[in-house]
């Protein structure tokens, strides 16, 4: 068994690979979250077990495609006391941070699920190993359990074969917690999340310049959830991607659309939200927080003058909330005439649109 990625060669572990595996297991950086460097007898016994492991337990020896240098070991083998198979990996430190682990693991998962006919794969890593947790999330694995093992807190991730991720955006013109409590449309948003866990919901108040009163209303409305919020300063945080990908729902508040987009792009936060969307995190928002997902935005700038700006482009076309307002309606209609091929959606404040996989599936009366 031997296959290639853009940069690597992946092959079945062979007896003559022992020296490289010994080097890998003896590296203190590699073994930081794996119980430390074992003695030689343990390495030798482990290697023998890997080479002789029965199918479908598989151990992959990884080299660079251009130079043949050994870079790491990846395996799919039986998981602790469960009828599951585990993805494990160790890479030499000099090859970290180059995207090689993601490239290799993507291919190994594909191989494991298809060729080895394994319906699901789990991976377990210490919660302290943030880089490993982020890698597993990037691979599309979902955290399913946190437990104590080997004297440390461990996170268990799982990826199931043919698991379809539904991409959803719920675009509100009005209503929601900022205007009504309890709110029908907020309950509707929560019901779209198919999870047995307490829901993680995150409020992004950028468009209101992080207005504290707005944030307070959010927490009052969602106190039955695991609620959090992200301020503009938080977008600089190195763990911001991890925080966003851990959410079930992102809820974006209203305010100034161009200001929101400017700040998000300044911190590359727009890319984080796009990745979350692709990973099945539900995106919801009201007014500016609804316009931002579309290809084009037409709204007031800081001087209260209507102007066009580029949205995130997740959804085609443009969205106009508060269409019952005569001034806004006239300005949007005039602008629309210069955009004859652009799909447009115009909503009054009692209406909400629900998109799945970039297709409109429902228009909802919110109150």
| C-alpha closest to that of 127 among 137, 114, 118 | 137
**Percent helix / strand / coil, the chain, rounded to 5:** 30, 30, 40
87: Cβ contacts below 8 Å, ≥ 6 apart? 74, 75, 76, 105, 108, 109, 112, 121, 122, 123
Distance CA 280, CA 295 (A): 20
Burial class (CB in 10 A: 0-12, 13-18, 19+), 264: buried
Residue 287 is among the residues annotated as catalytic for this protein: yes
Most distant CA pair in the chain, distance: 80
Task: Report strand pairing: 249-252 vs 282-286.
Answer: parallel
The edge-to-edge listing of strands for the beta sheet with 152-160 is 2-4, 8-12, 58-64, 70-78, 85-91, 120-126, 152-160, 142-149
- Which residue among the candidates 17, 248, 322, 354 is catalytic per the annotation? 322
Task: Report strand pairing: 351-356 vs 168-172.
Answer: antiparallel
Tokens standing for residue 204: 């992004």
Backbone angles phi, psi at 331, to 5 degrees: -65, -45
Q: Judge contact between 181 and 221, C-beta under 8 A.
A: yes
Residue 173 is among the residues annotated as catalytic for this protein: no
Tokens standing for residue 51: 């080479």
- Which residue among the candidates 132, 287, 299, 354 is catalytic per the annotation? 287
3-state secondary structure 180-204: CCCCHHHHHHHHCCCCCCCCEEEEE
Distance CA 302, CA 259 (A): 8
Active site residues: 287, 322
């Amino acid at each position: 068994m031997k296959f290639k990625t853009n940069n690597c060669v992946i092959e079945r572990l062979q007896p003559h690979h022992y020296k490289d595996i010994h080097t890998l297991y003896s590296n203190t950086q590699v073994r930081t979250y794996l119980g430390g460097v074992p003695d030689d007898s343990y390495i030798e016994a482990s290697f023998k077990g890997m080479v002789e492991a029965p199918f479908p337990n598989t151990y992959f020896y990884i080299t660079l495609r251009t130079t043949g240098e050994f870079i790491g070991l990846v395996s799919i083998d039986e998981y602790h006391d469960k009828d599951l198979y585990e993805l494990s990996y160790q890479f030499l430190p000099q090859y970290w941070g180059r995207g090689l682990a993601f490239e290799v693991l993507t291919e190994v998962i594909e191989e494991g699920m298809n060729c080895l006919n394994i319906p699901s794969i789990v991976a377990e890593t210490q919660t302290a190993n943030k880089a490993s947790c982020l890698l597993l999330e990037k691979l599309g694995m979902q955290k399913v359990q946190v437990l104590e093992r080997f004297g440390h807190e461990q996170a268990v991730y799982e990826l199931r074969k043919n698991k379809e991720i539904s991409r959803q955006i719920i675009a509100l013109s009005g209503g929601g917690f900022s205007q009504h409590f309890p709110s029908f449309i907020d309950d509707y948003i929560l019901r779209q999340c198919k999870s047995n866990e307490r829901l993680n919901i995150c409020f992004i108040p950028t468009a209101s310049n992080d207005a504290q009163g707005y944030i307070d209303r959010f927490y009052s409305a969602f106190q039955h959830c695991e609620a959090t919020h992200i301020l503009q300063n938080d977008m600089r945080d190195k763990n911001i991607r991890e925080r966003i990908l851990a959410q079930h729902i992102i809820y974006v508040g209203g305010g100034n659309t161009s200001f929101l987009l400017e700040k998000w792009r300044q911190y590359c936060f727009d890319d984080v939200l796009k990745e979350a969307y692709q990973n099945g995190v539900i995106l919801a928002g009201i007014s500016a927080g609804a316009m931002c997902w579309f290809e084009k935005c037409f709204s007031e700038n800081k001087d209260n003058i209507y102007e066009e700006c580029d949205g995130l482009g997740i959804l085609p076309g443009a969205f106009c909330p508060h269409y019952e307002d005569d001034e806004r309606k006239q300005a949007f209609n005039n602008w629309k005439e210069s955009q004859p091929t652009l799909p447009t959606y115009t909503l009054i404040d009692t209406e909400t649109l629900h998109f799945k996989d970039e297709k409109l599936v429902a228009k909802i009366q919110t109150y």
